[in-house]
Chains A and B, each alone.
Chain A
Amino acid sequence: MATKVTMEALSPTMEEGRLVKWLKNEGDPVAKGDVLAEVETDKAVMELTARGDGVLRARLAAEGDTRPVGELLAIIGAADENIDALVKKAPAAAVTPSEPSSPPVEVPPVAQTAPAPAVTMPTTTGKAAESSAPPAPGDRAPSGPSGAPAQSPPPAPAAAPAPAAVSGNGGGRARSSPLARRLATERGLDLGQLHGSGPGGRVIRRDIEAAVAASPATTPAAAAAAPVARTAPAAPRTSAAGDFEDVPLTQIRKTIARRLAESNGPIPTFFLTADFDLTSVRELRAQMIALGDEFKVSYNDILLKAIATALSQHHEVNAHWLGDSMRRHHRVHLGMAVAVEDGLITPIIADADTKRISEIARESRELAKRARERKLAPEEYTGATATVSNLGMFGIDEFTAIINPPEVAIFAVGAVGDVPVVVDGAVTVRTRVRITMSCDHRAVDGATGARFMQTLRRLIENPLMLVF
């Protein structure tokens, strides 16, 4: 009798796990309790042990794969046993959390204490949910105003048997309660896509909770992924193979992303503000201006160059959040926010890090002019890898800018001005600028952002590095 090896709930909150490493090869003999593989949960890397004796006949997941709890990962059987049927049934087997015939031995202690919902909730993939979503009429509505979403039985919206009058309402407005509308807006859910369980198919609070619970890991991602499709349709400049690397999300990164997004809207943003000394920049600029008009550059041009250069050294900031992965761009396409008559637009300086300051100066003037004339071609304002916004000319000392998804950072540049500062114990006047970096915490942690700002300081305060 073959033993199925499934993704086990190795922690109470685990809903899926990433197979980090196989420790047994196909054909290896295994005994009950042997460690088969390392699995990364939302909290840590843990060991997956064998629940039966025999030979590891088939490995059905590759290293690096993420699989929902309950899904078949491998089969242990006798060396000559026919396991074709088991292998073929693999997707269906996804809903069986553990083989009834296999006694629970040598289970890591956490697995034993894992509450049932974590094991049996087949919520993480559409396939698993469809094949096992409980029939809706049996669902107990959370009676308190705040039922814990993770505990309430969540029928997958698509799979729940829908009464005739569902939310769709003939293509019109989805019927929904005011509270449900607020919750849906917050979570980026489309009411029309949800199964309404209220009177007349009305979408109510528990439907939102069910939808959120059905895909805790992917919901914030979906919310963030939507703008990707809208705002960056074709970005030929950034999409060439080799120009970026896609980084799969680690479990801890997924958990950070989900928790922070829950706490702070779809894009959990934090801000880092620092003062930069422009003494050297001012000197550099003065020297350039002295060389003649063709060398005339603004403070902003130099700052654009500095930010672009820093980005080229910090690909983790020069990135796009794609929901299920992060795209670290190797090329720097710097967006610059330009105020136009009825709003703003962010034309792009492509490969800004490789351009000379004078080129950036010319290009930014040109782009700003054409932006105000509404003459930008779509490829000139799509595909930025990060953006700079400058309100210094309005006398704004410092401000915070809103991240333009899927980018993960934006830089708000304040006014350049002379301020008294303490240098070597004496008050003196220095030219300074204050820059605030808004970071998408799903992708950029505080220390990551701070390190970027360190690099930026080094560049701005030693501007010769920019012309080297």
Chain B
Amino acid sequence: MASFDVIFLGAGPAGYVGAIRCAQLGLTVGVVEREGLGGTCVLWGCIPAKALLESAAIAHRAREAKAFGVNVGEITTDYGVAMKRSRAVSTQNSKGVEFLFKKGKITWIKGTGTLTGKKTLSVTDEKGAATTHDAKKAIVICTGSRVKGIPAIGLTLDKTSILSSDDVLIAEKAPATMAIVGAGAVGCEFADVFNEFGTKVTLLEALPAILPLEDADVAAELTKSFKKRGIDVVTGAKITGAKVGKGSVTISLAGPEQKELTVEKVLVAAGRAPNIEGIGLEAQGVKLTNRGYIQIDEQMRTSAEGIYAIGDVAGPPMLAHKGEREGVVVAEVIAGKSGHHVNYGNIPNATYCHPEVASVGLTEQQVKEKKVDYKVGRYNFSASGRARTSGQTEGFVKIIRDAKYGEILGAHIIGAHATELIHELVVARENEFTVEEIDLAIHAHPTLSEAIAEAVLDSMGRALNA
């Protein structure tokens, strides 16, 4: 029996950041976590996936090295080695969170937690021993989400043939052939990884474009790039069924193009389910939205007094940085500070395949639907001096601005380092800078960031280098 001011149920990015912020604000904090610290992001998502993508990028660059005057001999890849490295990076990050917990005097309550009251919960450790803990001020649910299959069309996860991203993150080798179902960020990233590791990849997307949440121009550019590198991209794919055979899976596709597709492995990368079961939510009166997430208000409060929810379990977008911000906000709310609410309209999206894709704000389609008078500015990296020096000239920067006031309605970048470049625009939007302020800020030459300044100028009809 231990007593804390606040108990977080889950140590993912939402929970651990919230815990650290609570500790900074002088609250005593306990965090319930049955696995390692860091959650999906550190253990099964962002971090290990990016480590694998880096391996893929090195393979890709090594194949181009000769043209740069660097001979590296024959290029071979070993997915097992890359996987082990990614696990090591993941563990290192998890240890990093442990260190932060010690520094903040945050207690890690190891085990699985269940609410037993509005201020109490019981935690069962791996040996089955249960302890009770109480939270004087608040309990924060941040149990995250998990991979899911699509049993309705025969894609039930089985860890051998029909895999989740969790499974491929610990696979020893890359298969000869793979179908990836779902071309969101996860699907596109693994398509990139396995393609570089010698797998013949078919990327299947039910919607008319890959990265369906991104701007259509960006999706088209990425499709072009993927196809050039030998990835089969099938959009508008209607999977009618999947048969698991011996060492292979046969997927049936409706539509004129392909009828059947036989592959060694299938990676299901179509959505995640919130972890809402077995926590005792219903008994405490915590209401869910009609899509099955915990319903919260802008102060992260659930329908049950004293119980808050943040991160994936509290609704999309399921992004680590969205959860982290919610963690900060919930900590400040609990500590009685009037913090700024999460600006859900200004959360950047990042996909780390090559070329990278990053965006913030609205797509051109969304702006059109809003019937806003807008202007588009675009700058291709093929015209950028810095992009030419590194031989990475794919992609572009696209800026959508309000025609009258110059407000930056949306920014879309596809190309090398796009996920780093986007933040200039995130900061600009957060501070309500208009295109003029971006233009006035001097951009160093030669950099990829100049492409942003040029795209902004183009939106004003006065690009200098295009």
Interface residues in chain A, defined as those with a beta carbon under 8 Å from any beta carbon in chain B: 137, 140-146, 177-180, 182-183, 186, 199, 204-205
What is the CA–CA distance of A145 and B338 in the complex, to the nearest angstrom?
Answer: 23
A-B contact pairs, 11 of them (CB 8 A): A141-B341, A142-B345, A144-B370, A145-B372, A145-B402, A179-B407, A179-B433, A186-B404, A199-B340, A205-B407, A205-B432
Known contacts: A178-B436, A179-B434, A180-B432. The answer to whether A143 contacts B372 by CB under 8 A is: no
Question: Contacting A146 at CB < 8 Å: which of B340, B341, B372?
Answer: B372
The count of residues in chain B whose C-beta lies closer than 8 Å to any C-beta of chain A is 23
Q: Would A179 and B405 count as touching, CB distance under 8 A?
A: yes
Name the contact of A178 in the complex, choosing from B345, B361, B370, B437 (C-beta under 8 A): B437
Proximity bits, B402-428, A CB within 8 Å = 1, else 0: 101111010000000000000000000
Q: Is the CB of A204 within 8 A of B370?
A: no
Task: Kindly list 18 other residue pairs between chains A and B, CB separation below 8 angstroms, not including A143-B344, A143-B345.
Answer: A140-B341, A141-B341, A144-B345, A144-B362, A145-B345, A145-B372, A145-B402, A177-B431, A177-B432, A177-B433, A178-B433, A179-B406, A179-B432, A179-B433, A183-B405, A199-B340, A204-B432, A205-B432
How many cross-chain pairs have Cβ atoms below 8 Å apart between A and B? 48
A452 to chain B minimum Cβ distance, whole angstroms, is 31
Q: Is B260 an interface residue (CB 8 A)?
A: no
Residues of A near B437 (CB, < 8 A) are 178
Q: How far is the CB of B297 from chain A (nearest CB, A)?
A: 9
Closest to A203 in B: B432
> Considering only CB atoms, which chain A residue lies closest to B407 in the complex?
A179
Asked if A178 and B434 make an inter-chain contact with CB atoms under 8 angstroms apart, the answer reads yes
Is B35 among interface residues, defined by CB-CB distance under 8 A? no
* B298 interface residue per 8 A CB criterion: yes
- Asked if B343 lies at the interface with its beta carbon under 8 angstroms from chain A, I say yes
In the complex, chain A residues whose CB is within 8 Å of the CB of B432? 177-180, 204-205
Smallest CB separation, A79 vs chain B (Å): 49
Q: How far is the CB of B412 from chain A (nearest CB, A)?
A: 15
Residues on B with C-beta less than 8 A from A141 are 341, 343
Question: In the complex, A186 Cα to B434 Cα: how many Å?
Answer: 15
Taking a contact as CB atoms closer than 8 A, the residue among B341, B343, B344, B434 that contacts A182 in the complex is B434
Cα A205 to Cα B429 with chains together (Å): 11
Give the distance in Å from the alpha carbon of A177 to the alpha carbon of B429 in the complex: 10
The interface residues of chain A lying within 8 Å CB-to-CB of B370 are 144, 146
Q: Which of A142, A144, A204 has its CB near the most chain B CB atoms (within 10 A)?
A: A144
Minimum distance in angstroms from A37 CB to a CB of chain B: 38
The answer to whether B361 and A145 touch across the interface, beta carbons within 8 angstroms, is: yes
Bound-complex Cα distance A146 to B404 (A): 13
Mark contacts of B433-466 with chain A using CB atoms, 8 A cut-off: 1 yes-contact digit, 0 otherwise: 1101100000000000000000000000000000
B372: A residues at CB distance < 8 A: 145-146
Asked whether, in the complex, the Cβ of A145 is within 8 Å of the Cβ of B298, the reply is no
Q: Please determine whether B405 and A182 come into contact, CB atoms closer than 8 angstroms.
A: yes
User: How far is it, in angstroms, between the C-alpha of A142 and the C-alpha of B406 when the chains are bound?
Assistant: 18
